[in-house]
Amino acid sequence: MLKKKGFVLVVGICFIILSFGITPLMAQGTRETVKTGTDGLPWWNDRTFYEIFVRSFQDSNGDGVGDLQGVISKLDYLNDGNPNTNSDLGVTGIWLMPIFESPSYHGYDVTDYMKVQPAYGTNDDFKQLVAEAHKRGIAVIIDMVLNHTSSQHPWFKDAQTPGSEYDQWYRWSEGDKKPPQIGPWGQEVWYKLGSRFYYAVFWDQMPDLNYRNPAVVQEAKKIAKFWLSDMGADGFRMDGARYYVEDPNKLADSEGNIAWAKDWNAYINSVDPNAFTVAELWTNSGDVAKYMPDGFDMGFEFDLSAAMLDSARRGTNEAVAPVQARALGLYKPGQYAAFLTNHDGYRLMNEMGKNPDKVKVAASMLLTGDGVPFLYYGEEIGMIGGKPDECIRTPMQWDATPRTEDFMTGKDCSTNEATFNVAAEENDPGSLLNHYRTLIHLRNDHSALRVGALIPLASSNKAIYTYLRQSSDETVLVLINLGKSAVSDYSLSADWSPLSGEWNGQLILGGGTVTRLKLGERGAIQNYTPVSTLAPFSTTIVRFTGVS
C-alpha cells in the first residue's frame, strides 16, 4: 500500500513523475498539510542531513559544554539560507544526537523525555533552533531513544519495588537464578537487582522498556507528539530500532518489533503527515528492508556504508557496485539513508588511512549517489577519531585551537585541529571542506543528483565507479576515479538505459572535453569514453543537455 507522503509508482527504475522543485520547510506552526518533494518523492529526498553531537559542536557561554545556542550560532556555516551563495556547507537537514535530560555525556540514557538536557539549554532554546533552522530551509530531526531509559529514570526507580506503578514498564525475571538467555551479539542482558533480574540489551545502566505493556506504548506516543506538536521537530532518528519488542526466541527484528514499527509510524503520520522517521537498524540490508515501507520511513544502509568505505579504501568499484545494485532492488526509489560514518564508528579520515584523497572519493560516492545522505559533523574537514567512543565525538575543529571536553579525560584521544579545521580550509579550493561544499551545492542545484533514478553502468576499468542519475528534467553521468593513477584506458557500457538517440554532454564538475553519447537499441551504451582522461582520485559529472 502506498503511503500518503508522496511515493510514486515505479516500473523498473523509471518514474512516473511531476516536478515540484525544492520546497523549503515552513516555520514552526505554519506547516503545510502534506508536503511533497521533487518528482513526487517525499520532502526528505531533497535533503542532505548533518549529524551533530551538541556537546561537542559549539559552546555559546564558555562553560566548556556545547549547547543549542551554540548550534544556532553556527547555522550559517551549515546553510545561510541564500541559494545564491556557496560559502556555506549547503546541508538542508540536521540530526541532533540525544538532547533529553540524562546523567551521561552521550545522552543515550534518558531521565526526562520532555526536558532538554540543562547543560544544552532549555526547551525554548530548542524551539528557537527549529525556527532559525527553518528560516534557512533546514529540517531538524532529533534522536528518539525509546528502547530503554536510564537506570536513574524515576520510572525505573519506582519499578524496583515489585507491584509498583511502573513495575511492568520494564522486563523482569523473578527468582535468584539468572536467565540463561544471552543477547543478540552474545552479550550479557540480564542483571540482578534485589530479588530479581532486569533485561538491558545495551548496558546495565540502560534497562529496556517493556513494549508489550500498552501503557509504555502510549507513553512513547505521548513523547513523540510532544516533540512534534509542541516543540516543532520535523521527525526522529529512531535509536536501537531492532530491539523494542522481543519475541521469546528472537531478541532483534522480531515479528512483534516490525509490527510495533508499523503502528508507530501510523501514529506519527496521524500527528504530523510531514514527520520523518529514519531508523538505526544495524544489520544486513535484507533485514533493514523488512521495516519499509509500512514501518519506518527509512533505515540506515549499513551494508552500503561498508561497501563504499571498502571501495574508497582499496581504489576499486568491486565492493560498492554489487551492494548498490542490491539496495536499488530492496527499497522504493531513494527510500533509504546513505552514510559513511557516524558517532559509533571510526571517523572517515581514520577509515581512509588519513588520506584526504580517499576521503574525497568516499564523499563523492555518498553525495552523488542514491538515497538520502547523512554526514557526521567534522567529516567535511577531516577530523580523526577512533575507539573508545569518546574519541569519535571530540569537539568540532573550528580553528587550530586545541579543545577538550570533560568526557575525554583519560581517554588519550588524538585530534588534528592544527591542520584540519574550518578556518584553515575555508579559502583553500583544494580542501576537504570545499570538496564537500561543491558536492552538496551541486546536489541542491541538480534534481538528478537528489532524486534521480540511479542506473548502474559497467566500467572496463575497476578503478572507475560510474552511473547515470535521471530525474524528470535532467540526466547526469557520474564518474569517480577511486584510484591513485590517472585513467585513460576505460570505457562504459550498459545493456539498457532510459536514453535513446544521441546526446551532447556538458561538464558540471571535473575537466576535459565531453564526447557525444550515441545509444544503441534499448538505450544500450557500448564502449563509451566520455572524457579522455580521468585524474587520480577525481570526480567528474556530466549533464546531458540535448539530443542532436
Write out the catalytic residue numbers.
239, 280
Q: Which three cell numbers stand for residue 229?
A: 506538536
**Cβ–Cβ < 8 Å for 194, 173:** no
**Cβ–Cβ < 8 Å for 174, 167:** no
**Cβ–Cβ < 8 Å for 279, 292:** no
**Cα–Cα distances in Å, from 490 out to 459, 529, 539?**
7, 7, 15
Burial degree of 9 (CB within 10 A; 0-12, 13-18, 19+):
exposed
Interatomic CA distance for residues 43 and 45, integer angstroms:
5
* Cβ neighbours of 270 (radius 10 Å): 11
**Cβ–Cβ < 8 Å for 400, 377:** no
SS3 456: strand
User: Please, which residues have CB within 8 angstroms of residue 93's CB and are 6 or more apart in sequence?
Assistant: 44, 47, 48, 49, 50, 138, 139, 140, 141, 234
**Cβ–Cβ < 8 Å for 216, 165:** no
User: Please, which residues have CB within 8 angstroms of residue 541's CB and are 6 or more apart in sequence?
Assistant: 368, 442, 449, 476, 477, 478, 479, 507, 508, 509, 510
Find the Cα–Cα–Cα–Cα dihedral 352, 355, 361, 366, rounded to 10°: 40
Radius of gyration of the CA atoms of the chain, in A: 24
DSSP 241: T
Residue-wise burial string across 282-317, b where 16 or more C-beta atoms lie within 10 A, e elsewhere: bbebeebbbbbbebbbbbbbbbbbbbbbebbbebbb
**Cβ–Cβ < 8 Å for 543, 474:** yes
